[in-house]
Amino acid sequence: MPINIPETGQKRIVIIGAGFAGLKLARKLKNEDCQLVLIDRNNYHQFQPLFYQVATSGLEPSAISFPLRKVFQKEKNVYIRVTQVTDIDPVKKQIQTAMGYVWYDSLVIATGATTNYFGMKGVIENGIPMKSVSEAVYLRNTLLLNFERAVTMRDPDELQSLLNVVVVGGGPTGVEVCGALAEMKRFVLPKDYPDLNFDLMQITLIEANPHLLHGMSSHSGDRSLVYLKKMGVNVLLDHRVTDYDGKTITLEDGKKLMTETLIWAAGVRGQIPDGVDPQFMTRGNRIKVNRFNQVEGMEGVYAIGDISFMETPKYPNGHPQVAQVALQQAINLGQNYIRKSKGKSPAEFEYEDKGSMATVGRNRAVVDLPFLRFSGAFAWLVWMFVHLMSIVGVKNRMLVFINWLWKYFTFDQSLRLILRPSKKAQERPL
């Protein structure tokens, strides 16, 4: 049964996913002579780089989420449908969803990436990912519940296990969440739980590579390591996790760590709907595309952002799965749609690396620009400005700025709430 979408006679472009790539493309094409159908499991866009601040009670979830219908409130040719895509039929040029099917003239897959557990069943069952707002809230709940339980504990081993936090993955997410936890341990938790000795709490970061922030410069990785050690974080480089049973982490060398909180930030893999021929997929569960982001072998189907794998002379192993690639691919594909409508030839995609950055806490950050690398307080201000300007919505930017300002001067934030959905809410289908 088809989903109710008006038949307008315009060419229909269906975009699956409202992340950085999907939302940018929809905004690029909203004034063009076409019908846009934007499909996502959520009715909001979520700003992924700040998930860790929600998880550590630094920001409220609504501050980094923006309703899709608000974005396109004044656009008459944009139709938003909140549902799950279950299958793609490139022959019939239809996609199947939990609500019904939708036909398309052009289809853009922008479903992004999800957590990669590398096949470790114990980590899948017991580890905590951080790839969505709801997962960030779940992590916040877990941390706070563990502290509440710790207050009641007499057994020193159980107390230690509840207080310890282990983060796996030394990329920007892992480094940033460790920095935020270290600041909570120092400035916030002793005031909230004066009857607990937080000297017992160990924050450990495990990274399989010999340096942090793989993909950034050695300067940034080294400075981040110095910052984290000064903040009391234990950093294990060249170590790999092989198993986790909910209580004990087992490393490749046989070493064991006791914790009831394992935060998994060690890798990502593409989220590909059924219907994409496996021959068009490559490592990391990504879809092979040409220089125009068209899926090879699937007419009228494109993939952009983290889900796409494009080989270029500069990037023979594909582009990094970062927001800037997603945004630039969306802009290029949107421009190519416009060029095509005017009878012009499309342009090949070429990624312009504008740099990367990560923060480790108050007045501590690292920035890699194509022409300059720096760290410290100025880097932290640059990081804040760039992220603030990237958030969708003026109100959300103001909320984030006020939260950051308040936290800077008070060293605290009153957002440590344990919010758990009811059973009925969890069972409600999309």
- For residues 220 and 125, membership in a common domain is answered with yes
The pair of three-digit structure tokens given for residue 334, joined into one six-digit string: 């949107």
> CB neighbours of 339 closer than 8 A, spacing ≥ 6?
345, 346, 347
Domain tally for the chain?
2
Catalytic residue among 32, 75, 148, 176: 176
- For residues 193 and 234, membership in a common domain is answered with yes
Q: Is the confidence at residue 393, as pLDDT, over 90?
A: no
Q: Is residue 195 part of a domain?
A: yes
Q: Is the confidence at residue 426, as pLDDT, over 60?
A: no
**Left, alpha or beta for 167 (phi > 0: left; psi -120 to 50: alpha)?**
beta
What is the CATH number for 322?
A: 3.50.50.60
Helix or strand run (H / E) with residue 101: strand 101-103
The pair of three-digit structure tokens given for residue 121, joined into one six-digit string: 């069943």
Q: Yes or no: say if 124 and 117 are a contact pair by the CB < 8 Å rule.
A: yes
How many whole angstroms from its chain centre is CA 255?
30
Query: pLDDT tens digits, residue range 38-54?
Result: 999 999 999 999 999 99
Residue 410's pLDDT band (boundaries 50, 70, 90)? confident
Alpha carbon dihedral 281, 283, 286, 288, in 10-degree steps, equals -50
> CB neighbours of 134 closer than 8 A, spacing ≥ 6?
none
* CA dist 142 → 23, 60, 190, 361, 420 (Å): 31, 16, 18, 22, 10
- For residues 177 and 242, membership in a common domain is answered with yes
Report how far residue 305's alpha carbon sits from residue 286's, in angstroms, rounded to the nearest whole number. Answer: 10
Structural domain of residue 32, as residue ranges? 12-41+83-114+269-341
- For residues 261 and 217, membership in a common domain is answered with yes
Q: Yes or no: say if 237 and 212 are a contact pair by the CB < 8 Å rule.
A: yes
- For residues 300 and 229, membership in a common domain is answered with no
What is the CATH number for 160?
A: 3.50.50.100
Report how far residue 308's alpha carbon sits from residue 319's, in angstroms, rounded to the nearest whole number. Answer: 9
Tell me which long-range contacts 335-341 makes (C-beta under 8 A, separation of at least 24): 335/28, 336/292, 337/13, 337/29, 337/32, 337/34, 337/106, 338/29, 338/32, 341/32, 341/33
Residue finishing a domain among 242, 266, 290: 266
- For residues 261 and 277, membership in a common domain is answered with no
Q: Strands 268-270 and 106-109: what pairing?
A: unpaired
- For residues 138 and 92, membership in a common domain is answered with no
The pair of three-digit structure tokens given for residue 285, joined into one six-digit string: 């569960």
Q: What is residue 72's predicted lDDT score, i.e. its pLDDT?
A: 95
Question: What is the SS3 assignment for 224-284?
Answer: HHHHHHHCCCEEEECCCEEEECCCEEEECCCCEEECCCEEECCCEEECCCECCCHHHEECC
Q: Is residue 253 part of a domain?
A: yes
Q: Is residue 61 part of a domain?
A: no
Q: What is residue 257's predicted lDDT score, i.e. its pLDDT?
A: 95
Mean pLDDT of 369-398: 93
Mean pLDDT of 187-213: 94
* CA dist 417 → 10, 59, 145, 148 (Å): 47, 11, 10, 12
- What size, in residues, is the chain? 430
Instruction: Supply the mean pLDDT for the chain.
Output: 92
Q: What is residue 430's predicted lDDT score, i.e. its pLDDT?
A: 55
- For residues 148 and 242, membership in a common domain is answered with yes
Residue finishing a domain among 266, 281, 312: 266
Q: Is the confidence at residue 425, as pLDDT, over 70?
A: no
Q: Is the confidence at residue 160, as pLDDT, over 80?
A: yes
- For residues 254 and 278, membership in a common domain is answered with no
75 among known catalytic residues: no
Q: Is the confidence at residue 63, as pLDDT, over 90?
A: yes
Query: pLDDT tens digits, residue range 315-337?
Result: 999 999 999 999 999 999 999 99
Q: Is residue 320 part of a domain?
A: yes
Q: What is residue 413's predicted lDDT score, i.e. its pLDDT?
A: 78
Q: Yes or no: say if 111 and 14 are a contact pair by the CB < 8 Å rule.
A: no
Query: pLDDT tens digits, residue range 258-305?
Result: 999 999 999 899 888 887 878 888 888 999 999 999 998 888 999 999
Beta bridge partners of 14: 37, 107
What percentage of the chain carries pLDDT values higher than 70?
98
Q: Is residue 375 part of a domain?
A: no
Residue 427's pLDDT band (boundaries 50, 70, 90)? low
Residue 429's pLDDT band (boundaries 50, 70, 90)? low
What percentage of the chain carries pLDDT values higher than 90?
81
Q: Is residue 106 part of a domain?
A: yes
Q: Yes or no: say if 357 and 386 are a contact pair by the CB < 8 Å rule.
A: yes
Give me the residue label for tokens 């656009």.
75
Q: Is residue 430 part of a domain?
A: no
Residue 411's pLDDT band (boundaries 50, 70, 90)? confident
Residue finishing a domain among 266, 297, 320: 266
Q: Strands 372-375 and 364-369: what pairing?
A: antiparallel
Q: Is residue 371 part of a domain?
A: no
